[in-house]
Amino acid sequence: MSEVGMVEIKNMTLKELEAFVQSLGLEKYRAKQIAQWLYKKRVKTFDEMTNISKQARKLLSEKAVIDVLKLVKVEESSDGTRKYLFELPDGNRVESVFIPERDWNTLCVSTQVGCPVGCTFCLTAKDGFTRNLTTAEIVDQYIHVQRDVGENRRISNVVFMGMGEPLLNFDNVKKAVGIMTHRDMLDLSTRKVTISTVGIVPGIERMAKEMNKVKLAVSLHATTDEVREKLVPLNRRYSIGEIMRALRRYPADNVRRIMIEYVMLKDVNDSLADAKRLAKLLKGMKVKVNLIPFNYYPGALYEPTPREKIEAFQRVLWDHNIAAFIRDSRGQDISAACGMLRTKEKACHA
């Protein structure tokens, strides 16, 4: 609830919206009209829904709220990347990132306030975990950013790679994906939605059954349990071997290959021996590897791997028939690292 007794209307699937409008004494078909206004036209008030009676609009405005996020700050990079800081109804804050490409636009959304996983290279982890985001708080990130960038720059791709571990907020993430991909709502292609996890095995198994139309990304970051436990403490619970077994059972194909995310950390996980181990781990799987240059932030425990060393790592993977790409860092002249804008703003107001 955004206000006492008020319903967050973007928490609802279309079926739930139909039940809600009927509970108010309105016709069932009004739900689809409301959805069109919310997700196609992205209105801010019920008064803008002109094909609904004034009395019905008044009733809706007394029972429900449309927007649950408040935009606090936007930073824009010289490369067009825009980083957003949003305030939630309870005063907590999260980030989203708009990333323009030549042929498409991507939005990176957050799923939790902070993160419980505690990866030692991640700035978000330093603040610990507060709570899960609601479905409305996830969906609203898309709505707010799309309004801001304008309809001529449609966001076609959504990646759940912002603050938090999406598979530890599975139900709300699943519902948000349903709203994003429903033809009467945001109408995104399931192939353009990617959910990233650090390796929550039960969540991967649920995704395989309940959300396998969207893409799966796994943040691996190491090729031995010894190194991964230092980088990702959760590895003590879900080892590399367990994660690989879950991925081999996952219904991936050439269209929806599993994305392996690998942050390159100088002298930690970037040796040629690591590259060969990674190739061996992934042999025979429908995967592609994203090698990610580390976004340094003040106080970080690690340093970025030099570019030439990343390229040598990449060549080893290609030599073993593993598709590997270097993800170019974006927004380097703004608060690029995940959690940096939130941390910076918090420090400014401390």
172 is in an annotated binding site: no
Instruction: Answer yes or no: 76 catalytic.
Output: no
Residue 29 CA, distance from chain mean position: 32
144 is in an annotated binding site: no
C-alpha dihedral sign at 315, 316, 321, 325: negative
Q: Which of 201, 241, 199 is nearest to 221 (CA)?
A: 199
164 is in an annotated binding site: yes
108 is in an annotated binding site: no
Helix H or strand E encompassing 218: strand 215-219
219 is in an annotated binding site: yes
196 is in an annotated binding site: yes
Annotated catalytic residue, options 75, 95, 137, 261? 95
Q: What is the C-alpha to C-alpha distance for residues 90 and 183, in angstroms, rounded to an integer? A: 31
220 is in an annotated binding site: yes
Instruction: Answer yes or no: 18 catalytic.
Output: no
Query: Is the separation of the CB atoms in 261 and 292 below 8 Å?
Result: yes
122 is in an annotated binding site: yes
> CA end-to-end span of the chain, whole Å?
28
349 is in an annotated binding site: no
Q: Which residues, in sequence order, are CB contacts of 40 under 8 Å at separation 6+?
A: 187
For the record, the structure tokens of 293 come out as 């240059």
Neighbour-count burial of 280, counting CB atoms closer than 10 A to its CB (0-12 exposed, 13-18 middle, 19+ buried): exposed
Neighbour-count burial of 95, counting CB atoms closer than 10 A to its CB (0-12 exposed, 13-18 middle, 19+ buried): buried
Annotated binding site: which residue ranges? 115, 119, 122, 164-165, 196, 219-221, 295
Among all residues, which ones are annotated catalytic? 95, 338
Annotated binding site for [4Fe-4S] cluster: which residue ranges? 115, 119, 122
Annotated binding site for S-adenosyl-L-methionine: which residue ranges? 164-165, 196, 219-221, 295
